[in-house]
Amino acid sequence: MKKADRSKQLKRTAKLAKRKAKLAKEKKRNPAAAPSLIYRGTKYQTDEFTQLVYATESGIFEAHEESGRRLVDRDVTVAIETVIRRLRKNAPLKAETLPDSQDEGDAEVLIRAILAHWEPLGSMYSREQRIGVLRTLLGSIEIWSQRGPSRRGYLSFLEGFLGRIDPGSLTAGGGEETELVEIGRQWLRDNDGEARREFMGLAESYQDSGRSAELAQNCRQLIGEFVDTASPGLFEIMSVSAALEYSDAE
């Protein structure tokens, strides 16, 4: 090897070593976020897993209602991620094995409710199948949740969804239904043009009065209730919801 070529190689090696050291330093200073637990496939969205999905989401919403509807989407995410990690470690998961105290955190309240609704299913689903369904629900939360730490977009969607498939599943302790939801339901159910105009007018007043977060939650509740229907107005409701999310991001 010529002396000039050797010199170039040494300089290149030194430069690469310097670059690697810089990257290692940056990685140490800003460690990478933990890998996402979300599963975005459709494997667990089939009829085979309907009972498990329903039991899980019923437990989530039951905990929300029993808390006086103070839980937020982030609480649900933390609870589900905790159950996934416990399942992966083969940790005990029966409701009676969890701590029981007045100081119990929101995540543990949710976990207890989920496990209580799982118990009637017995051994119908394997550990891996339960993990798969929970990871799929994390994807649903990602879709329907709103930006911000105190938002309830997913929980609002869940209220509409559960109320449609089983109205008796929602306890009497919930909040009062808003006029916006009542009018929106009339619009989506009957394709009522007058109800559509009333809904859009009310939606505009919500925005003008700084109630965009409440409007978004009402929209998600209606989407949950009509998501599996062919209602002509559903796309418009989804567009209003998406526009609110976009404006929040600006």
Distance CA 111, CA 95 (A): 8
Spell out the domain ranges in the chain: 47-144, 179-249
pLDDT at 250: 43
Question: Is the pLDDT confidence value at 6 over 80?
Answer: no
pLDDT tens column, 201-232:
999 999 999 999 899 999 999 999 999 998 99
- As a whole number, the mean pLDDT across the chain is 84
Distance CA 232, CA 195 (A): 13
Q: How far is CA 95 from CA 177, 194, 240, in A?
A: 32, 49, 40
Using a pLDDT cut of 90, give the percent of the chain over it: 62
pLDDT tens sequence across 152-192? 999 999 999 998 877 665 544 455 789 999 999 999 999 99
Q: Does the global pTM surpass 0.75?
A: yes
Q: How many CB atoms lie within 10 A of CB 21?
A: 10
Percent of the chain with pLDDT over 70: 75
Mean pLDDT of 123-149: 92
